[in-house]
């Protein structure tokens, strides 16, 4: 039986007047073609597509959680009612009571000044009319149901005191507070590491069956979708390209775009020299050869050696004392020229802190980082400035690391001017333009600002900015984790090309083991600040020695697996 039916939906955004004519941008639907699909009762339907495909706009149209400049037409049928015709009061009664939402970033969805208990009690009081004592008891039971440790104590906690996985559990508990019939989950696991992602997916599946509710699950990760969905709807550029049962979509996709999405994903099972890119695949030019990448030179010179690196944070404890929290404990490794060291682990394992500490963006509490025969941790500020040019870092969020007031040209020229690279501004500008071309951006990018580019393009700019200084080592901290599958493939291919051309050495930090498998020669597995396993990428994946490594590998989404 159908719970929700979307028929011929079109969504456009008013962008202001030009020449006296209102300009509109179509986000969902193109021309006469609208979006249509059903969500049956007690069923999980996945909306799949890249950023800009219209999947989130489609889902947010159901309860009209869209900006004021949005225009909707078509029909959204829910239990015999057309929600497009429903007024604000009717929609307010539905939100949280019968249709609830879980969003990608729980920290921006939770109110930072209210406790977890206060936020859980609000829908219980508003929609169910419970008193304070009954609402608190129900809130505690909800936290227990979603697997929150020490649920009673967490009621008094604030969002910033919880981990990302715990915050997402709170969001799910809030969504389930009134036992809704439909749960809209918008990228609820994208920013989580594989073990927490696995827990959230299993939790959603278990709660769906227990409460017999329907789930509209939005994601760009087909591996996740293949494990949780019953039906799949594939969207691109605001229209549906293909829809059907999950088994059909994964085993015999009919549309070239669906085939490309499946082909572009890095995999633990294969190790191609390059990843397929969606546009090339659709154009009949797949970039994924059958051959394995050539082996790296095992005798290449060591460019970076880390010995017993340690980092602790000290927080006030009592009036005069401080408590030590060790974040990195005795990490050691060697990195050779032209090689990539993958660093994996759950959130809180210390992998990012380790990367920042070896660059002295965190001051270490022990150990050595030997580069070009010198210990980076004992250099003076002047010596460190000169050495920093040769070791650069690419962060996860390129928009936060690019100055929004600088054009792309200024962002690339500034580090060259600081370090005295190039004879004058003309020569630096010429070099900057060459690097933009090298990372696949045309000359028109030079005078634009960061906000005018997509996430993948901004990451390319961040990489180009690092290359202006001709570094020998790049630390890449979750540099592709927030990117769509096609953009991720483009950036990973680019990193391999640059490594082959310039002999760059990478420290590649990620929680995505499939990505690490594709790009890494050696893998270092971290847990609670310590290295628990270290071996070649092939050895780690084929025969992991540590239980923790096996648990990480077991949590990786593998897509749809037919029942045996």
pLDDT, tens digit (0-9, with 9 covering 90-100), for 498-538: 899 889 999 999 888 888 989 999 999 999 899 999 999 88
Our measurement of the distance from residue 238's CA atom to the centroid of its chain's CA atoms, rounded to an integer in Å, reads 22
CA atoms within 13 A on the CB side of 434: 8
Res 557 pLDDT > 50: yes
**Residues 27 and 57: beta-carbon distance below 8 Å:** yes
- Which 3 state secondary structure label does DSSP give 513? helix
Q: State the pLDDT at residue 483.
A: 74
**pLDDT interval class at 564 (50, 70, 90):** very low
Write b or e for each residue in 340-351: b if 16 or more Cβ atoms lie within 10 A of its Cβ, otherwise e. bbbbbbbebbbb
pLDDT, tens digit (0-9, with 9 covering 90-100), for 455-512: 778 888 988 898 898 899 999 988 887 677 777 888 888 889 889 988 999 999 988 8
Res 221 pLDDT > 70: yes
Please name the residue that has the structure tokens 């150990």.
367
State whether the Cα torsion 525-527-529-530 is positive or negative. Answer: negative
**What is the pLDDT of the chain when averaged over all its residues?**
87
Distances (CA, A) of 15 to 22, 26, 66, 71: 7, 10, 14, 11
**pLDDT interval class at 386 (50, 70, 90):** confident
Task: Name the region of 150 (left: φ>0; alpha: ψ -120 to 50; beta: rest).
Answer: left
pLDDT, tens digit (0-9, with 9 covering 90-100), for 101-143: 988 777 778 899 999 999 999 989 988 889 989 999 999 999 9
Identify the weakest region by mean pLDDT among 30-44, 285-299, 455-469: 285-299
Q: Where are the alpha helices (DSSP H) in 283-380?
A: 351-358
Longest dimension (CA), the chain: 74
Can you tell me the distance from the alpha carbon of 541 to that of 539, in angstroms, rounded to the nearest whole number? 5
Q: Exposed, middle or buried, 366 (CB in 10 Å: 0-12/13-18/19+)? A: middle
pLDDT, tens digit (0-9, with 9 covering 90-100), for 189-215: 766 777 777 888 888 888 888 888 999
- Which 3 state secondary structure label does DSSP give 233? strand
Distances (CA, A) of 417 to 441, 447, 461: 22, 18, 17
Q: State the pLDDT at residue 75.
A: 96
Residues contacting 301, CB < 8 A, separation 6+: 336, 337
pLDDT, tens digit (0-9, with 9 covering 90-100), for 303-328: 999 999 999 988 787 777 888 889 89
Q: What is the average per-residue pLDDT within 273-288?
A: 73
Cβ count near 514 (within 10 Å): 19
Q: Exposed, middle or buried, 274 (CB in 10 Å: 0-12/13-18/19+)? A: middle
- Which 3 state secondary structure label does DSSP give 375? strand
Can you tell me the distance from the alpha carbon of 532 to that of 523, in angstroms, rounded to the nearest whole number? 11
Q: Which residue has the higher pLDDT, 223 or 107?
A: 223
DSSP assignments along 138-197, one per residue: HHHHHHHHTT-SSHHHHTT--GGGS-HHHHHHHHHHHHHTT--SEEEEESTTTTS-HHHH
Domains of the chain in start order, with CATH, are 302-555 (3.40.50.300)
Residues contacting 418, CB < 8 A, separation 6+: none
- Give the predicted TM-score (pTM) of the model: 0.82
Can you tell me the distance from the alpha carbon of 554 to that of 195, in angstroms, rounded to the nearest whole number? 9
Res 22 pLDDT > 80: yes
Helix (H) and strand (E) counts for the chain? 22, 21
């Amino acid at each position: 039986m159908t719970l929700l039916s979307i028929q011929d939906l079109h969504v456009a955004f008013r962008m202001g007047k030009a020449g006296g004519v209102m300009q509109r941008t179509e986000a969902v639907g193109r021309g006469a073609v609208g979006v249509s699909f059903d969500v049956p009762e007690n069923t999980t339907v996945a909306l799949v597509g890249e950023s800009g495909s219209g999947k989130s706009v489609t889902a947010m149209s159901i309860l009209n959680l869209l900006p004021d400049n949005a225009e909707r037409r078509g029909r959204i049928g829910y239990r015999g009612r057309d929600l497009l015709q429903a007024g604000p009061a009717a929609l307010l009664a539905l939100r949280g009571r019968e249709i609830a939402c879980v969003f990608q970033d729980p920290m921006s969805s939770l109110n930072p000044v209210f406790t977890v208990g206060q936020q859980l009690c609000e829908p219980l009081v508003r929609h169910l009319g419970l008193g304070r004592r009954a609402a608190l008891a129900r809130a505690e039971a909800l936290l227990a149901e979603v697997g929150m440790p020490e649920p009673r104590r967490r009621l008094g906690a604030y969002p910033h005191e919880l981990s990302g996985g715990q915050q997402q559990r709170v969001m799910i508990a809030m969504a389930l507070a009134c036992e809704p019939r439909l749960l809209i989950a918008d990228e609820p696991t994208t920013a989580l590491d594989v073990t927490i992602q696995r827990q959230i997916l299993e939790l959603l599946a278990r709660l769906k069956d227990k409460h017999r509710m329907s789930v509209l699950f939005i994601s760009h990760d087909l591996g996740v979708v293949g494990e949780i969905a019953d039906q799949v709807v594939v969207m691109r550029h605001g229209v549906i390209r293909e829809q059907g049962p999950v088994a059909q979509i994964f085993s015999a996709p009919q549309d070239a775009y669906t085939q490309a999405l499946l082909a572009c994903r890095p995999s633990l099972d294969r190790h191609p020299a390059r990843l397929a890119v969606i546009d090339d695949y659709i154009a009949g030019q797949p970039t994924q050869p059958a051959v394995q990448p050539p082996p790296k030179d095992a005798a290449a010179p060591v460019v970076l050696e880390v010995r017993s690196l340690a980092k602790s944070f000290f927080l006030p404890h009592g009036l005069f004392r401080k408590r030590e929290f060790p974040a990195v404990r005795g990490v050691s490794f060697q990195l050779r020229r032209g090689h990539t060291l993958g660093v994996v682990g759950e959130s809180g394992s210390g992998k990012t802190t380790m990367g920042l500490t070896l660059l002295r963006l965190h001051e270490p509490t022990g150990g050595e980082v030997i580069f070009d025969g010198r210990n980076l941790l004992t250099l003076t500020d002047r010596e460190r400035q000169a050495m920093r040019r040769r070791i650069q870092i690419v962060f996860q969020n390129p928009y936060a690391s690019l100055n929004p007031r600088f054009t792309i040209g200024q962002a690339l020229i500034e580090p060259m001017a600081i370090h005295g690279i190039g004879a004058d501004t003309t020569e630096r500008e010429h070099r900057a333009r060459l690097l933009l071309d090298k990372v696949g951006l045309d000359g028109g990018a030079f005078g634009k600002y960061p906000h005018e580019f997509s996430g993948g393009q901004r990451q390319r700019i961040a990489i180009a900015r690092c290359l202006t200084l001709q570094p020998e080592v790049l630390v890449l901290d979750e540099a592709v984790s927030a990117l769509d599958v096609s953009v991720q493939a483009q950036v990973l291919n680019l990193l391999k090309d640059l490594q082959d051309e310039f002999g760059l050495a990478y420290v590649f930090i990620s929680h995505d083991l499939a990505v690490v498998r594709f790009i890494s020669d050696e893998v270092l597995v971290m847990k609670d600040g310590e290295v628990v396993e270290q071996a070649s990428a092939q050895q780690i994946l084929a025969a992991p020695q540590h239980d923790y490594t096996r648990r990480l590998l077991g949590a990786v989404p593998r897509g749809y697996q037919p029942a045996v």
